[in-house]
Amino acid sequence: MKNKYSVPALAKGMAIIEMLAASRDALGITDIYERSGLPKSSIFTILSELENLGYVARADAGKYQLTLKLYNVGMERLSKLDIRQAARPEMEAIAQQLKFTVHLAILENDKARYIDKVNGPGFVQFSTQIGQTQLLHNSGVGKALAAFMTDERLTHAIALHGLPKTTEHTMTSPAVFKSFLASVREKGYAIEDEEGEAGIRCIAAPIFDHSGKTAGAIGITALRSELPSISFDAYGKLLQEKASAISAKLGYSDEKQERPR
């Protein structure tokens, strides 16, 4: 269904921003036209306004590239998230104790979005980035967040993003996925066993805020060889304890927790 409140000019502007962000090199009007099919006159007008606002700058040969203004806007937003401040000490403690990469994620647009990351001191480092998103069904933090969504919202998320098969282990059945989430609520933590990427395992636990709503999820990422299945329960309980400590800092108490309906 078409959104009656859509703003085509804004949509075109955001498409150009995303195109510039995805490109390693600066882009000219013709480059953007060939990639998007937008009218050159519109591209010129939008780029001129973005330049006036400080979001893009001219490079060589009349081409354009993004400035760091959007990054600064994003970092300003991140700085307002109390959960990052509450979680950071626990994340650092986990990274030092387990030697694994630790991620903090929130639910945004029915996906899990990383808002903080602490690399473990081990040799293996993962290329995940703050701001990166993960689907709910094939990531540890995604499953931890999905477990406490209402059935209505979860069904909407599945309809919106699907359950794409990324490895031979990925759950692609809504019924199987929802059944798994019931076990996450029971255990208090979620396992992702080579479902997003072969050879990679994750464990995550949900974080709750003062109102009992899911505020985010904290998770570890490791190579399969370094995270044997025999350790799942011990590490899961450790993450659950750390997530509970973060939740307490956010004012959470058991009596306020919202269960999915």
pLDDT in tens, 50-76: 999 999 999 888 899 999 998 888 777
Of 111, 110, 109, 129, the residue nearest 119 (C-alpha): 129
Residue 3 lies in a domain: no
Residue 101 lies in a domain: yes
Contact 46, 64 (CB under 8 A): no
Q: Which two tokens stand for residue 7?
A: 């703003």
Question: What is the structure's pLDDT at 156?
Answer: 95
Question: What is the structure's pLDDT at 1?
Answer: 45
pLDDT in tens, 122-179: 766 788 899 999 999 999 999 999 999 999 999 999 999 999 999 999 999 999 999 9
Contact 117, 102 (CB under 8 A): yes
Clarify whether residues 239 and 124 are in a common domain: yes
pLDDT in tens, 92-114: 999 999 999 999 999 999 999 99
The pLDDT of residue 258 is above 60: no
Overall pTM surpassing 0.85 (yes/no): no
Clarify whether residues 46 and 143 are in a common domain: no
> For position 141, which CATH number holds?
3.30.450.40
Q: Which two tokens stand for residue 100?
A: 């694994």
The pLDDT of residue 261 is above 50: no
230 pLDDT tier (thresholds 50, 70, 90): very high
Residue 2 lies in a domain: no
The pLDDT of residue 245 is above 80: yes
As a whole number, the mean pLDDT across the chain is 90
What domain range is 128 assigned to?
A: 81-256
Clarify whether residues 12 and 95 are in a common domain: no
Q: Which two tokens stand for residue 27?
A: 């882009």
Of 243, 166, 138, 86, the residue nearest 146 (C-alpha): 138
Secondary structure (H, E, C), the chain: CCCCCCCHHHHHHHHHHHHHHHCCCCECHHHHHHHHCCCHHHHHHHHHHHHHHCCEEECHHHCEEECCHHHHHHHHHHHCCHHHHHHHHHHHHHHHHHCCEEEEEEEECCEEEEEEEECCCCCCCCCCCCCCEECCCCCHHHHHHHCCCCHHHHHHHHHHHCCCCCCCCCCCCHHHHHHHHHHHHHHCCEEEECCCCCCEEEEEEEEECCCCCEEEEEEEEEEHHHCCHHHHHHHHHHHHHHHHHHHHHCCCCHHHCCCCC
Q: How many domains does the chain fold into? A: 2
Separation of alpha carbons 236 and 112, rounded Å:
19
Question: What is the structure's pLDDT at 79?
Answer: 59
Separation of alpha carbons 84 and 216, rounded Å:
10
19 pLDDT tier (thresholds 50, 70, 90): very high
Clarify whether residues 99 and 198 are in a common domain: yes
Residue 130 lies in a domain: yes
pLDDT in tens, 30-44: 999 999 989 999 999
For residue 28, give Cα distances in angstroms to 24, 42, 53, 56, 82: 13, 13, 18, 12, 40
